[in-house]
Structure 1
Amino acid sequence: MAAVNELVEQGFVDRTPDPDHGRRNKVTLTRGGARQLRRMDGLLDQVQDDLLEPLSAEERRTLTRLLGRVLARHEEE
């Protein structure tokens, strides 16, 4: 909940009561939050490109596939 509070304070998300469930809030992305998300996506893309630069396109696809399998296995547990 602290993370959501911080995002609300920074103006990245809005929190409104859920009319269908009294104890629940709906959290929606603001325009500022969407801008920040696009910015962060761009930064992450650059970091990923820099990190994986030594790998060929085929090696990147293989790495992504293998990491996906590892992640799927841990999500099952």
Structure 2
Amino acid sequence: MKRTVDQSTAVHVAVREAVATLEDCHPTQLGSLSLVVDGERLDAVPDTSPEESPMLFRYCGYTVTVDDSGTLRIEN
């Protein structure tokens, strides 16, 4: 899954919503994102320089990548 994070949505929220869509559940039913990644740092990725991105981590069995353009990629 690939999507651009809307600027009005925090990246950590977009990640949880996207994974919940893939899992066909509500975001509150997922594990805690804060256990695998710093939410403030994740939210700041679109504002970082290209040299400092992408941010890559595992969440609920998926590999999640967020880059400086605000593009979110989720792969199983």
Normalising by structure 1, we get a TM-score of 0.24
Which structure: greater strand fraction? 2
Which structure: greater helix fraction? 1
Identify which of structures 1 and 2 has the higher relative contact order when contacts are C-alpha pairs closer than 8 Å and 6+ apart: 2
Normalising by structure 2, we get a TM-score of 0.24
